[in-house]
Amino acid sequence: MNNSSSDNQRRARVFRNSVVSFCLVVAAIATLVLVCSAAKKKPNSIAQQTMMAANYPGNDADKFWQHAKKEVDRSVNEMIAQDHAALAKGIRFHNFIHGSPALKEIAITFDDGPHPQFTPQLLAILKQYDVKATFFVVGEKAEVAPDLIRAEVAGGHSVGNHTYHHVSLTKIPEEYVATEIKACGEVLKKITGKPAHLFRPPGGDYDQQVSMDAEALGYTTVLWTDDPGDYASPGDKVIKTRLLDKVNNGGIILIHDGVQQTIDVLPSILSYLKSKGYTFVTVDKMMKDSGARF
Ligand SMILES: [Zn+2]
């Protein structure tokens, strides 16, 4: 009887210990899973935190995302017509389309960088010709190449916001427009220590919502007057002809960071326009000189 009772007690103790051990193992595994998933979900930048807070779908293969990534290329005339139509309705946004026609100033702007290979070459050419320019950079590219952004600032150039993912802002749901602009702005502020105040919508694609969001976030939307279509690599001669035939006082030239032909043709464009008496200024200086008050 005694033996059997102590056997039972022993069995009960062994069972209890097994249950406790089992529970401990389960708890340990659960904790590990939680810690791992928390570590995985933890955003590693302010920009990503902003996107997470907005439930931004990011790089997923959403339909809107695929659509929004397709390059849009608005013509200068379309943009001017849009601006005039807004003005006619009494809507006036902080848009800067060209500088003063009375001043022999040109603002040269480089979009879509920074590019690890081409941006340093562009900076070297600009330095050689003592030209100050404006770079409209993509947040996700800037985030992985902060030294290039710092080099642009150190070279006396202006750096503007070109969204975080380079999406066409009229093609994503309205609630994400501000997130795209904000996330890029946060990257730039972290790198340069100062908030950016110039913004260019990818492809020049904007509407009232985009303008309102950009303005509310403290930006002036900067468009352009001259677009030689360099991103399509039409050939050095075509780029030169398209630019040099038309560019005028207060012109804002749109070219890109990641194009070999742009690098090839840039020195001759700079020296030709300088020989015609033009001064190259940043968009900031052009705005100031033209008396634009935003
Ligand atoms: Zn672009």
3-state SS string over the chain? Answer: CHHHHHHHHHHHHHHHHHHHHHHHHHHHHHHHHHHHHHHHHCCCCHHHHHHHHCCCCCCCCCHHHHHHHCCCCCCHHHHHHHHHHHHHCCCCCCEECCCCCCCCEEEEEEEEECCCCHHHHHHHHHHHCCCCCEEEECHHHHHHCHHHHHHHHHCCCEEEECCCCCCCCCCCCHHHHHHHHHHHHHHHHHHHCCCCCEECCHHHCCCHHHHHHHHHCCCEEECCCECCCHHHCCCHHHHHHHHHCCCCCCEEEEEECCCHHHHHHHHHHHHHHHHCCCEEECHHHHHHHCCCCC
- Residue 112 C-alpha to ligand 1 middle, in angstroms? 5
- Residue 13 C-alpha to ligand 1 middle, in angstroms? 71
Residue 145 tokens, joined = 């190449």
- Residue 34 C-alpha to ligand 1 middle, in angstroms? 40
Inter-CA distances, 211 with 204, 220, 264, 265, Å: 11, 9, 35, 33
Residue 227: active-site member: no
Task: Read off the amino acid at residue 289.
Answer: D
Which residues are placed with Cβ below 5 angstroms of ligand 1, an ion? 111-112, 202
- Residue 7 C-alpha to ligand 1 middle, in angstroms? 79
State the catalytic residue, choosing from 111, 112, 205, 213: 111
Residue 171 tokens, joined = 């093609």
- Residue 202 C-alpha to ligand 1 middle, in angstroms? 4
Say what the pLDDT of residue 244 is.
Answer: 85
Residue 256: active-site member: yes
- Residue 25 C-alpha to ligand 1 middle, in angstroms? 53
- Residue 231 C-alpha to ligand 1 middle, in angstroms? 9
- Residue 5 C-alpha to ligand 1 middle, in angstroms? 82
Say what the pLDDT of residue 1 is.
Answer: 45
Question: Cβ contacts of residue 47 below 8 Å, gap of 6+?
Answer: 139, 143, 164, 183, 184, 186, 187
Q: Is 131 exposed, middle or buried (0-12, 13-18, 19+ CB in 10 A)?
A: buried
- Residue 201 C-alpha to ligand 1 middle, in angstroms? 7
Q: Are 259 and 231 in contact (CB under 8 A)?
A: yes
State the catalytic residue, choosing from 115, 157, 162, 256: 256
Q: Are 160 and 185 in contact (CB under 8 A)?
A: no
Q: What is the model's pTM?
A: 0.81
Mean pLDDT in runs of 10 for the chain (294 residues)? 65 75 72 54 69 71 64 78 80 85 97 97 98 97 97 98 93 89 96 97 92 95 91 85 88 93 93 95 96 74
Q: Name the one residue in this structure whose structure tokens are 């705005």.
A: 287
Q: Is 54 exposed, middle or buried (0-12, 13-18, 19+ CB in 10 A)?
A: middle
Centroid of chain to Cα 240:
27
* Start-to-end C-alpha separation, the chain: 96
Residue 252 tokens, joined = 């804002």
Rg (CA), the chain: 27
